A = this chain, B = another copy of it.
Amino acid sequence: MTAHSNLNIVPFVSVDHMMRLVLKVGIETFLTELALVIEEDFRRWEQFDKTPRVASHSKEGVIELMPTSDGTLYGFKYVNGHPKNMKEGRQTVTAFGVLSDVGNGYPTLLSEMTFLTALRTAAMSAVAAKHLARPNSKTMAIIGNGAQSEFQALAFKAIVGVTELRLYDIDPSATERCAGNLAGKGFTIKACSSSQEAVEGADIITTATADKQYATILSDNMVGPGVHINAVGGDCPGKTELHRDILLRSDIFVEYPPQTRIEGEIQQLASDYPVKELWEVIAGKCEGRQSERVITLFDSVGFAIEDFSALRYVRSKLEETGLYVELDLLADPDEPRDLYGMLLRCEAHLRVV
């Protein structure tokens, strides 16, 4: 055994370990700390390699690789999107990711990211609202009460101070499940029977519906002055949630314009329609909300840097929690030029054992 004898090892955070990590840290603390890492990375946005995601499309769905790097660390996420999966008892979206050392190219973390993506999406939404919603926003409508909804609610509670939820889903059992899961978590919850009812009195409107082609979850008359809209569900070409007229009345903030123009709500607008970049607001280079009456819209599609932040945060928690296993992922012979010799030594060892 040499000082380098563990170079072959990559820590792996399984789904079970991710759940234990979230429970150990506490989900609201987890979301709050993750939000701080996202803000930290958004403030140094210009340091990052920003590659568009690499997508492999098929009849049934898409598989994407989302890489990025800050010059010191490199991260990528593998994520699929298959709307028909749910009918077969599978997740529409699953994901995993890797964080590596740019200096030597060795992976330093492999992690499940189905949970982590839900957590980072919620933390990102809450970070945007913290910078864009009216101060003292307490009431949030959530339209679409699927897999994202509880994470969104908890992030907005922890980071923005939301305490009142108004829930609506076309499937009442989804609303019931969401309300049940959030019972006892410090919210006043109202189950609503229409989108119209849900948005009444809401400071913030979160739309997180799925599987709809050019749907109109919100129509223009439903959105009053001063509201912040957190549009989470529209995130690929052909999938939008908001009526175009709402976009025209809003100050629009996005993650990475070249990607959002293809995937976000603004795919409904001209390709040069003015939008603001959220990182500039967070970095103090650009004003967020300009008045009490402005409608602000975060047109969220999810960007690789958020996954990078999430992987970076998870890795920072490993030592103190021990919630990972060691994966023998990298062939690392004592003599790097002698890869084949490693096989011979393994053979000799097996013969002895």
Contacts and interface: CB of A to CB of B under 8 A. Distances in A.
Contacts of A82: 103-105
A100 interface: yes
A60 B344 CA distance: 31
A164 interface: no
B96 A107 contact: yes
A245 interface: no
B340 A181 contact: yes
A331 interface: yes
Contacts of A328: 14-16, 112
A8 interface: yes
Given A54-B54, A65-B67, A339 B115 contact: yes
A236 interface: no
A293 B210 CA distance: 64
A23 to B, nearest CB: 5
A114 interface: yes
A84 B151 CA distance: 44
A107 to B, nearest CB: 7
Interface stretch (A73-81, A269-277, A310-318): A73-81
A298 interface: no
A258 interface: no
A342 interface: yes
Contacts of A347: 23
A196 interface: no
Interface string A25-58: 0010000000000000000000001010010101
Given A15-B8, A85-B105, A337-B147, A100 B331 contact: no
Contact of A91 (B88, B331, B343): B331
B174 A329 contact: no
A329 B335 CA distance: 32
A337 B14 contact: no
A340 B106 contact: no
A67 B181 CA distance: 39
A337 B104 contact: no
A151 B337 CA distance: 12
Given A8-B15, A23-B347, A78 B107 contact: yes
A22 B338 CA distance: 16
Contact of A112 (B86, B102, B329): B329
A275 B269 CA distance: 46
Query: Would you list the 6 A-B pairs with minimal beta carbon distance, nearest first?
Result: A80-B105, A114-B331, A150-B340, A14-B328, A147-B339, A19-B346
Given A2-B89, A23-B346, A91-B332, 9 more contacts: A49-B56, A54-B65, A58-B71, A65-B76, A84-B104, A86-B337, A96-B329, A177-B337, A181-B338
